[in-house]
Amino acid sequence: MSDKPASPLKHRDFGWFWLGQTASIGGNGIFRVALPLEVLRLTGNPFDLALILTVDQIPTILLLLLGGALVDRMSRRQILLIADIASGLAISTMAVLIATGTVELWHLVALTLVTGMATAVYLPATSAILPDLLPTTMLTAGNSLMSLSQSLGQFLVGPLAGGVIVALAGTTWAFAIDGATFLFSAVCLMMVRYLPPARPEERTTVRQEIKDGLRYSVTRRWLWWNMVALGIGNLAAYLPLFVVLPLLVKDDLAAGSFGLGLVYAASGVGGALASVWARRRAEPKRPLVALWVAMSLGSFSVCLLGASPALWLAIVFSATMWAGVTYANIVWFAALQERVPTHLLGRVMSLDLLVGIGLGPLGFFLGGVGAESFGARTTLIAGGLIAAATGLVAFVPRVLEPDDSTVPAAQLQPEATG
């Protein structure tokens, strides 16, 4: 008898959800190419580009915990609809401004503020809604399909399509197509049957609900220790890659922009292959063990990437690095969705995302300082070793075995108001 799980796409609601998300993720890949090119076309100032990229992250980082609380208070389908429509209208408006020649830098700043705020609710809602769409036994397979869309859409096909669209038709069409993908995603969400709110009717204040989510996370040894260890590894090895990898390819491997594109494409291919492999395999019996085995593969691949003497080796280790990270993310998200109570899932997901991506500016800074002081190779090798060392958390008692007995369940229920 085969252990291959049934396809999550047989579930109608998940199929519509996945179709819409795949389209908008591909649009994000186009946006990643079009936005910096439009900024440079408009002003030609690298500082302005850095400003736009920073503004894009700040609202997401500041509002993630609030976004997680809203995801637990409202229908997750409704949250995603609002985020898709807001992003789609904002990006479509930008396409009109570019087409009419009236776009200014402050328009792009306003656009990134809107998309950053939408992302703050979109990210936790996307993960938290899966248990509402799929049975528990299909969560790993569902996450693998979502990860496959991200690997191909945001990191491979989307950027490639964005480059072709900008080259042939300009940034106007790139923004217009991206805006259309968000609106298409909203239509797909409308095809999903009504999903009840994740929370019971009794509610406290948003501030208290955020505190409840934090308290739940820090009092679960398996949840908090793994979350922090993953965040440290991300800060040491993976966030600095955005700064260090181009320097490695350009200065140490003398490969130029084409070589850098191949290394990035290999990351997308590695992530896609890991997603397909996870989809075809049964859910691991000890998911947190599988998580750290995969993270070890990714971390040591970062070290080998830094030590690569030739471009082709850098391409290979870029693929294995992202394959390990992708599989680890699939297993981790499935573990959270399966083990965290549904009325807390949005807040726990938002905290996990904050620990993972909220340190982005610090990671970029450390990557720049490390490359300037010690060189790209040393920075990557040191970061990979630190990330590998975080796997020692697996030897902490009860970290690999989820245990919800730390805090009585009654203390986690929201108090009724009035």
User: Which is nearest to 325 in space by CA: 283, 259, 272, 246?
Assistant: 272
Q: Is the pLDDT of residue 151 over 90?
A: no
| C-alpha 12 chain-centroid distance | 24
Q: Say yes or no to pLDDT of 390 above 90.
A: yes
Of residues 386 and 363, more confidence is placed in: 386
User: Per-residue pLDDT tens for 89-98?
Assistant: 999 999 999 9
The rounded distance, in Å, linking the Cα atoms of 403 and 339 is 9
Is the pLDDT confidence value at 405 over 50?
no
- The whole-number pLDDT of residue 397 equals 86
Cα–Cα distance between 108 and 377 in angstroms, integer?
Answer: 35
Identity of residue 315: I
Block residue for tokens 């509002």: 63
Please choose, from the candidates 337, 68, 410, 404, the residue with its C-alpha nearest in 3D space to the C-alpha of residue 207.
68
Distance between CA atoms of residues 16 and 87, nearest Å: 19
Mean pLDDT computed over 5-13: 82
* Both structure tokens of 163: 């480059």
Tens digit of each residue's pLDDT (9 = 90 or more) over 304-354: 999 999 999 999 999 999 999 999 999 999 999 999 998 899 999 999 989
Tokens 């060189």 map to which residue?
A: 375
The alpha carbon of 258 is separated from its chain's Cα centroid by a whole number of angstroms, namely: 25
C-alpha–C-alpha distance, residues 335 and 136, integer Å? 10
* 414 pLDDT above the threshold of 70: no
Retrieve residue 340's tokens. 């965290």
Domain segments of the chain: what residues? 1-198, 201-404+411-418
One-character DSSP codes across 333-368: HHHHHHHS-GGGHHHHHHHHHHHHHTTHHHHHHHHH
Higher pLDDT, 170 or 418: 170
Token digits for 349?
């997901």
The pTM assigned to this predicted structure is: 0.83
Domain covering 1-198 assigned CATH 1.20.1250.20 in the classification: yes
Mean pLDDT computed over 83-111? 93
Q: What is the per-residue pLDDT across 260-314, written as a single tens digit (0 to 9) for each? A: 778 888 888 999 999 999 888 777 888 999 999 999 999 999 999 999 999 999 9
> CA-to-CA distance for 120 and 24, rounded, in angstroms?
16
Q: Buried (b) or exposed (e) across 315-331, using 16+ Cβ within 10 A?
A: bbbbbbbbbbbbbbbbb
CATH class as words, domain 201-404+411-418: mainly alpha
Residue 194: the pLDDT is 63
Mean predicted lDDT score pLDDT of the chain: 86
Q: Greater confidence, 63 or 32?
A: 63
The two three-digit tokens of residue 190, written as one number: 């409308």
Query: Is the Cβ–Cβ distance between 41 and 182 less than 8 Å?
Result: no
- Token pair 């060392």 in the structure block, residue: 389
Q: Are both 1-198 and 201-404+411-418 of the same fold? A: yes
pLDDT tens readout for residues 170-222: 899 999 999 999 999 999 999 988 666 555 545 678 888 999 999 999 999 99
**Long-range contacts made by residues 281-287, C-beta under 8 angstroms, separation at least 24?**
281/3, 281/4, 282/3, 282/4, 282/5, 283/5, 283/137, 283/139, 283/140, 283/334, 284/140, 284/331, 286/400, 287/140, 287/331, 287/332, 287/334, 287/335
User: Within a 10 A sphere around the Cβ of 408, how many other Cβ atoms?
Assistant: 9
Residue at token pair 């389908």? 77
Task: Check pLDDT > 90 for residue 365.
Answer: no
Measured between alpha carbons, how far is 257 from 246 in angstroms, rounded to an integer?
Answer: 8
Percent of the chain with pLDDT over 70: 92
